[in-house]
Amino acid sequence: MQTLYSYLFDDDVQQAIQAKLNPLLVSLPPGDSRLLTSYLRYHSHVFATFDDKVKSGVMATLAQTLSLFNHPTVMDAFCEIEAPALDFTTLLDGQLMLIDMPLATWGVSAKVAYTFIKLRFFHLMQNRHTQPLALQGRPVLFMCDEYQELVTCNPDGFDLRQFIGQNFMQPIESQLVRGSQ
């Protein structure tokens, strides 16, 4: 995420990465090459055609969302290239993961991190069937304080708390422990 932030907001980083991407296209497997080409085309053929005001709004949103990943402590935890990435599949094998980012300290940045973590966890749970058979039925617990910060309701009244709660967790054989004020 920190590299993405640098790519979007630092012209030198963007040029260096772009110089590596073009030659990479020919060496990638066909599926990966098509995927990278579609990303690059979106930027050059869609985003580039947006009005400057729209582009500015998109970039402002990205800056607010990704700025968290420029904080040194967050970079150490989530963005270190040399450090192994957080491997959520280890949760299926009984590993514990503790994320301590109090809202009082981190503010909106914690909400962004919470959302990314929640999405990674739920994606892992939805794709459990791709894991070795021994891990597919193992109970998994997602315990979360300040759970209300992980979910939202949209204007039409659909309550994601209900969706992410029992309706979501039961079919994937997981339990949700939530603590809310």
73-125 per-position pLDDT tens digit = 777 766 666 656 667 778 777 788 777 777 787 777 777 777 778 888 878 87
**Exposure string over 90-116, b if 16+ CB within 10 A, otherwise e:** ebbeeeeeeeebeeeebeebbbbbbee
Query: Predicted confidence band at 147 (pLDDT cuts at 50, 70, 90)?
Result: low
Dump pLDDT digits (tens) for 135-144. 666 777 777 6
Taking alpha carbons only, the member of 172, 111, 167, 170 closest to residue 144 is: 111
CA pseudo-torsion sign 23, 25, 28, 32: positive
Query: Predicted confidence band at 2 (pLDDT cuts at 50, 70, 90)?
Result: confident
CA pseudo-torsion sign 4, 85, 68, 58: positive
As a whole number, mean pLDDT of residues 52-65 equals: 90
Q: Six-digit token pair at 120?
A: 């990674």
